[in-house]
Amino acid sequence: MPFSCYSMPFSGGASARRWGVRPALPMKYCSACHKTYPGDYNVCPADQTALQNAHELQSGMIIRNKYQLLDRIGIGGMGVVYRSRHLTFNEVCAIKIVNDVISGDERFLQRFQAEAVITRKLRHPNAVRVDDFDYTEDGRPFIVMELVEGKNIGEILQIEGPFRVSRAVRIATQAARALGAAHKIGVVHRDIKPANIILTTDEDGKEIAKVLDFGIAKLREVAGSDQPGMTMTGMVVGTPLYMSPEQFMGKKAGGEIDGRTDIYSLGVVLYQMVTAQLPFDGDTPYSLMVQHMQGTVRPPHELAPDLHIPESLSRVVLKAIDKSRDQRFQTAEEFIAALEESGLDRSGLDYGHSAALQSGPAPSAETIKAPTSPQVLTPQVAPGTSASQSSKANLRPATSSVDPPLTPRAESSAASENNMVAASPADSSVVNSAAQHVFIQPRKLRVKQLLTLVALLMTAVLVAGVGYLKYQTLRRMRIESAVTEMLKTSPTLGRTDLRVQVSDTREVILDGKVQSKEDSIAAGNLAGSIQGVTGVINRIEYPPVIPNTDPAGTDAKSPASLISDGTKFLDDGKYAEAIACFSKAAALDPNNKQATELLDHAKQAAKTEQELLKNRPLN
């Protein structure tokens, strides 16, 4: 099962410069028993084995003499997440360990511990449970939490498309219950999005939603609140596609940000679940801010009429994402009640898949009830009518007083059947003749009709071909625009004159001149990170490398410095800058495993952002 739900969020790493490196010694590691010890230990107390320096945590290590790290399942600006096992209870759990840089900030550590204590009080079946808080042997704090195996809503939307309405409402209701429990203890999530809602199964095999990362938003704010000159992206806490208007205005938790912010974000997620589209579209954080604060939302049932979304659910969603928080649901309980009152959460009807098959009201029990006794056919002969004439008379059923009436459909069927039985030989010839004329007699296809049919087929093929060419052209233009924009926003490549072309096979061709080989490699990596790019042909020219005669090296940065800058950009969501820094670090030190891993992570984050923003299909 995937564990993408445990990738560490990008914290406000813009304050990394003031954190520095922890003064603690590197912890020691015993290769025999796999236990870890503080840096001043030289011999393992358990088996007298000489200890080794452990600069990084590795799979198999045992921390605090009770948790064994099994494998790494997530990495981010704040630290690393490991799938682990409690040695005493033999239970698998997830452990989030803060990285070296952040763990040197005392204020952040205090907030980290406080949030862990508060979040542990949140005990709800739809919230990821926090079980423990502790420090590693070298002083890094970590939290132990419930390990949830499953996929998040964003991953399921990419694979399956829009959710069934009943399923989406059930998931939104469960998430709202977790938020309601958090709001009661004073915790506002502030970053509700598809990636933070995981779908798993309970003990009975039923699907259940789990909300994770409660309290992480406050940690982001603490990590970046004191850094001067931060941009709007660093000041606000949340994901722009799902942020409330008050979050875009830079308001903080307390009187300005409360539980109604989470209701707004959950309403956006519910909108996306039932339509597979976002209510607001924008290519930049600024355009998204304008849409969230001033844009008009199209009701879900009008946006996707073929999905048969009930109008009552559209009203609930629109109220949840109202721009004025005073007009939204004031509590999570009100939101849940509105969903239940719409009848969707209780009915369990499979809207969106079976509604199209239900073309009319369900038949009543009286309609489908069969007669209790056979119908007796008696000829209705008028006075003075001969027997021969009576053979052509209409036959009508003689119904007893206790027999229930036939439905219109049953009467029609019975009447047609009776007429066929009562038909005389003379009438049968007429019926057979009519049947041959209507059903048996072949129709002649004229040459003119054949030519018309061929012309229509050729027109259809031509229109399809033109449409495909238009689609390919628009896709190439979109890729070219995305690559150009990313190169322009790069701090090192934005001032260069680079030309971008996209081939029919969606290969990006880069031409131009840059100042160094590292810039050329960074440009290629940036282009390759765009969604839909199949390859990069790098024709960028750069001057030959001239040995640096300046012993001070004032114009050069070390790989460690580049990695530090790249981590800061990665935490701020500036993926182009992060990719450029990690590319240069990897070029300067090809054996630097950290630079390579962070480069791959930044590329994946950039692709994910591109895919989320591309929510409008090509025309």
**Coil, strand, or helix at residue 249?**
coil
Residue 391: predicted pLDDT = 39
User: Which residue out of 105, 191, 322, 519 is catalytically annotated?
Assistant: 191
Q: Which of 313, 340, 355 is the last residue of a domain?
A: 355
pLDDT tens per residue across span 281-328: 888 888 888 889 888 999 999 999 999 999 999 999 999 999 999 999
Same domain, 211 and 265: yes
Kindly state the DSSP code that residue 54 receives in the 8-state scheme.
Answer: E
Q: Domain for residue 258, yes or no?
A: yes
Same domain, 131 and 225: no
Q: Is residue 237 over pLDDT 80?
A: no
Known catalytic residue: 565? no
Same domain, 133 and 162: no
Same domain, 131 and 158: no
Same domain, 45 and 83: yes
What residues contact residue 391 under an 8 Å CB cut-off, 6+ apart?
422, 424
Angle at 76 between CA 74 and CA 82, to 5 degrees: 30
Q: Domain for residue 466, yes or no?
A: no
Q: Domain for residue 310, yes or no?
A: yes
pLDDT-wise least confident of 114-118, 434-438, 519-523, 604-608: 434-438
Q: Domain for residue 207, yes or no?
A: yes
Q: Is residue 10 over pLDDT 50?
A: no
| 174-190: average pLDDT | 93
Q: Domain for residue 95, yes or no?
A: yes
Same domain, 34 and 161: no
pLDDT tens per residue across span 159-174: 999 999 999 999 999 9
Residue 252: predicted pLDDT = 61
Please report, as a single letter, which amino acid is at residue 493: L
Same domain, 161 and 136: no
Mean pLDDT over the full length of the chain:
74
| 425-436: average pLDDT | 41
Same domain, 165 and 97: no
Residue 339: predicted pLDDT = 93
Same domain, 62 and 175: no
Angle at 94 between CA 92 and CA 99, to 5 degrees: 145
Question: Percent of the chain, pLDDT > 70?
Answer: 69
Residue 243's Cβ-count burial label (10 Å; 0-12, 13-18, 19+) is buried
Segment of 211-220, 244-253, 338-347 carrying the highest mean pLDDT:
244-253
Q: Domain for residue 534, yes or no?
A: yes
Q: Which of 299, 332, 355 is the last residue of a domain?
A: 355
Tell me the CATH number at 108.
3.30.200.20
Residue 155: predicted pLDDT = 94
Q: Which of 145, 167, 189 is the last residue of a domain?
A: 145
Distance CA 142, CA 95 (A): 7
Same domain, 180 and 48: no
Q: Domain for residue 181, yes or no?
A: yes
Segment of 29-38, 268-277, 452-461 carrying the highest mean pLDDT:
268-277
Same domain, 9 and 98: yes
Distance CA 535, CA 528 (A): 7
Secondary structure, 3-state, 176-233: HHHHHHHHHCCCCCCCCCHHHEEEEECCCCCEEEEECCCCHHHHHHHHHCCCCCCCHH
| 65-69: average pLDDT | 94
Segment of 75-89, 338-352, 357-371, 597-611 carrying the highest mean pLDDT:
75-89
Structural domain harbouring 107: 4-145
**How many of the other CB atoms lie within 10 Å of CB of 610?**
20
| 395-408: average pLDDT | 38
pLDDT-wise least confident of 231-245, 342-356, 586-600: 342-356
The residue behind tokens 């499979």 is: 350
Same domain, 282 and 164: yes
Q: Is residue 194 over pLDDT 90?
A: yes
pLDDT-wise least confident of 228-242, 386-400, 433-447: 386-400
